[in-house]
Amino acid sequence: MRRFPAAFLFILFALPVAAQDPSTAQPEKLFKPYVFPIRDFSLQERSGNDFHPSDLRGKIWVAHFFFPGCTGVCTKTTPNMKRLQELYRGKSDVALVSIALNNDTLETINRYAEVQNAQPQQWLFLTGPDEKVHGIIWSVFYNAAARNKTPTPGNEVVHSGSLVLVDFEGNTVGYVEGAEDNSVAALKEEIDRLRSRRRLESRIPVTGADMPWFNALLNSSCTILLILGWIAIRMRYETLHKILMLLALAVSAVFLASYLFYHFVVMEMEPTRFPGTGPARYAYFGILLTHTILAIVVAPLALTIAVQGLRDSRKIHVKLARWTLPIWLYVSVTGVVVYWMLYRMSW
């Protein structure tokens, strides 16, 4: 059973390291930025209710243009919308909006949505008169949709294959060509960036962006307390030494709680990626890796020497402290270094 806390701490602190795999970076060129506010419009949702863009204010959403029976670009864009739903299933801040272009009935739209296993609260399907819908595609999303002058079955409407990303304030951010390979990966990168920005700007009651700074402050405080505690015991001020070292232990406990809150509640276990490249990236990973491993090691050691010190088991306390203090100092200092490299340096 003693191995369980160590295993838990390893998984906890190793999470940011594992998440930093540079191979997961998605190609940015697939996502094409264009920013403008979404104008108001009204279409009928498959539930029968009227839909307005303001209904999704506070959410990040992706607009998609299709029609049931389409044999063209829809055969690639609709499966990609389905993939997005699987990626963000249950995430209340992400929505998908598919707009039908062929004046399809609610019955037809609902059958199509059921085939896609679309979740009603997350993946919305809109329909309306084709002239109205096509006008919205042109004037609101600045994309193409028009009746095919020489229609064939499955090709009644000529339209864009764009997947348009809209932020939580109701502004478009950009788009990907939904039929392209890796378009979902490129879109996911932008959605995750927006979600992180939203969480960091939300009040908790401080902003999430304050949490890394607060954690770095705790590490700095711990470093100072450890150094003062070492000085105190060298000067034979045992009571002061105990107070300072117990304060360092308490600060470390607060740091752990704050770290957990930031990564599990604020960031919802999603990693913060290091933006640097080249030698800086290798240096960052080297520091982060040693910091993580030694943080796992020092936690039980710090608790043990504290207990032994309070029990006045001086021989064991001094023997363990000679190893624990430098490790503890290294973890505290590198915690600040990691924060500085991740949030304060320009790469």
Is the backbone peptide bond immediately before 151 cis, with ω within 30 degrees of 0?
no
Q: Residue 277, exposed/middle/buried by CB under 10 A (0-12, 13-18, 19+)?
A: exposed
Neighbours of 149 (CB within 10 A): 6
The pLDDT of residue 147: 95
The pLDDT of residue 23: 45
The pLDDT of residue 36: 93
According to CATH, what is the number of the domain 25-201?
Answer: 3.40.30.10
How many whole angstroms separate alpha carbon 136 and alpha carbon 160?
13
Give the DSSP letter of residue 156: S
The pLDDT of residue 200: 73
Chunked mean pLDDT (size 10), the chain, 347 residues: 47 48 53 94 96 96 96 95 95 96 94 95 96 96 94 94 96 95 94 87 67 91 96 94 96 92 82 83 92 94 93 93 95 94 78
What phi, psi does 70 have (nearest 5°)? -60, 135
Give the DSSP letter of residue 342: I
The pLDDT of residue 203: 64
Burial code (b: 16+ CB inside 10 Å, e: under 16) for 302-339 equals: beebbebbeeeeeeebeebbeebbeebbbbbbbbbbbb
The pLDDT of residue 199: 77
Please report, for the chain, the start and end positions of each structural domain, with discontinuous segments joined by +. 25-201, 205-344
The pLDDT of residue 346: 63
DSSP string, 254-299: HHHHHHHIIIIIISTTPPPPP---THHHHHHHHHHHHHHHHHHHHH
Encode pLDDT of 144-201 as tens digits.
Answer: 999 999 999 999 999 999 999 999 999 999 999 999 989 999 999 999 999 988 877 7
CA triplet 302, 265, 202: central angle to 5 degrees? 125
Among left, alpha and beta (phi > 0; psi -120 to 50; other), residue 340 is alpha
Contact call for residues 221 and 61 (beta carbons, < 8 A): no
> Cβ neighbours of residue 69 under 8 Å, at least 6 residues apart?
102, 153, 154
The pLDDT of residue 143: 95
How many whole angstroms separate alpha carbon 51 and alpha carbon 64?
15
Q: What share of the chain is helix, strand, coil (3-state, %, to 5)?
A: 55, 15, 30
How many whole angstroms separate alpha carbon 123 and alpha carbon 79?
13
Pairing relation of β-strands 94-100 and 60-66? parallel
Look up residue 2 and give its two tokens. 């003693």
Q: Token pair 């059921």 is at which residue?
A: 114
Among left, alpha and beta (phi > 0; psi -120 to 50; other), residue 65 is beta
The pLDDT of residue 6: 47
The two counts, helices (H) then strands (E), for the chain are 9, 10
